[in-house]
Amino acid sequence: MPLIKSISGFRGTIGGKAGENLTPEDIVSSVAGYGDWLIRSGARRLVVIGRDGRPSGPVVSALTAATLQCMGIDVIDCGFATTPTVEMAVVFRGAGGGIILSASHNPKEYNALKLLNHRGEFISHAAGQDLIASVNSGNITYAGVDDLGSLTQDEAVLQDHINAVLAHPLVDVAAIQAAKFSVVLDAVNSVGAISIPPLCEQLGVRCQVMNASLDGQFAHNPEPLPANLTGLTERMKTSGADLGIAVDPDVDRLAFVGPGGRWIGEEYTLVTVADYVLRHEPGPVVSNLSSSRALADIAAKYGQEYHASKVGEVNVVEKMKEVNATIGGEGNGGIIDPRLHYGRDSLIGLALVLSHLATSGQSINELRDSYAHYEMVKDKIELDPDLDLSDALSVMEGLYPEVQKTNIDGLKLDFPDGWVHLRGSNTEPIVRVYAEANSQERARELAGSVKAKFIELTQAPG
């Protein structure tokens, strides 16, 4: 995978040539750019780092910490840590920023540096551009021998994170404990194995763990999609558990399987949480343009406003702040609850869903039946590096004169019975093609039709 530099951070595959992959040279230059930006911003010279279970984690972590120290920046290393744990640790420890060492749902050969500001939130678009310019300039100054930064190990932050979840005003600890739930977790051999079970234990929930190693040898494709979770689905057919839980390697995405092996899905994680939250605290809700219409339906049920943002956590957070949202997130299973912090967090997502189950007396299958039924198809098109995607999408827009369109992020076509969203990926050299309708057949039909038209357009001579 080519090295991708974006406001989301730096991502690529381990090994290969410098400048083309995430090599030691690229890690050092990227971290140095971040350190330079941090110093120039006037933030405290203290950075929190943490990593998921990938095999490259120890090497990437060592390079990251050493580079920051060489810039005169102190480092707190959380070791194995979820993305939301690192985000919250920045605030807990009063740091000037943070770096999460995880390529999220990508396979084990990938890694990434995800960059945080002093609020434990992903850096802004403007900050990202400034930082990338610093990296590209090669004009970075390092500290002298007497001014090197320190390195401190701190693995207590997970319990701090769990304590904050348990203290959340809408997490009904007593009701969950009384319900005596049983769950099955697919931890995909990463940090879900050390974060979800202790939360469950403190909530009085019995947790069976699948794929509990921390060796980063992912037991299956780590993205929490139905095709990748057949083991969890099969276990839920016979386990007698109340809930099947799937997380991605850095535990910021959450998906559920119901009793009997019923796929609830990542798109309905946010819907289920919003149903519970809005019942107790009405207010606006936010998701990105590629998320299910079911969230807008839940907002309408409670007489609340629904807002759509561009794809990307930083964009969702920006919109949530703008409209003072009560709850928000992304349809990929990312829950953002501003009472805790502005970051996708599977721990608070799970605690809120368990609270919903415990206080409603309904099973996850019954809750799913109570929501509008939509089916989503997620496809992709390999992106020609020479293609001007913006121009191509502009031409595509003109091919659908009668269809309602949104172009704040790629192109979304809203048909009467469904929608299709085309956009360039922030993490891979592809065009994502998402579609949703009342049936899988119709969603596939919409996605296939738009995809075929895009390919025909972009491959046409001249």
Name the residues annotated as catalytic.
Answer: 104
Helix, strand, or coil (residue 94): coil
Q: Which helix (H) or strand (E) holds 270?
A: helix 267-280
Helix, strand, or coil (residue 187): coil
- CA atoms of 152 and 148, how far apart (whole Å): 13
Q: What is the 3-state secondary structure (H, E, C) of 19-62?
A: CCEECHHHHHHHHHHHHHHHHHHCCCCEEEEEECCCCCHHHHHH
Contact 52, 129 (CB under 8 A): no
Task: For residue 349, count other CB atoms closer than 10 A to its CB.
Answer: 30
Contact 68, 53 (CB under 8 A): no
Interstrand relation of 9-13 and 74-80 (parallel, antiparallel or unpaired):
unpaired
- CA atoms of 50 and 449, how far apart (whole Å): 43
Burial category of 81 from C-beta neighbours within 10 Å (exposed 0-12, middle 13-18, buried 19 and up) = buried
- CA atoms of 301 and 60, how far apart (whole Å): 47
Q: Which helix (H) or strand (E) holds 256?
A: strand 254-258
The CA-CA-CA angle for residues 86, 87, 93, to 5°, reads 75
- CA atoms of 290 and 421, how far apart (whole Å): 6
- Cα dihedral sign for 406, 409, 410, 415? negative
DSSP string for 328-364: EEETTTEEE-TTT-SS--HHHHHHHHHHHHHHH---H
- Cite the DSSP H helix spans in 142-184: 157-166, 173-179
Cα separations (Å) of 122 from 88, 99, 106, 315, 324?
12, 9, 19, 10, 18
Provide the token pair at 143: 């500290």
Residue type at 372 in one-letter notation: A
Contact 1, 12 (CB under 8 A): yes
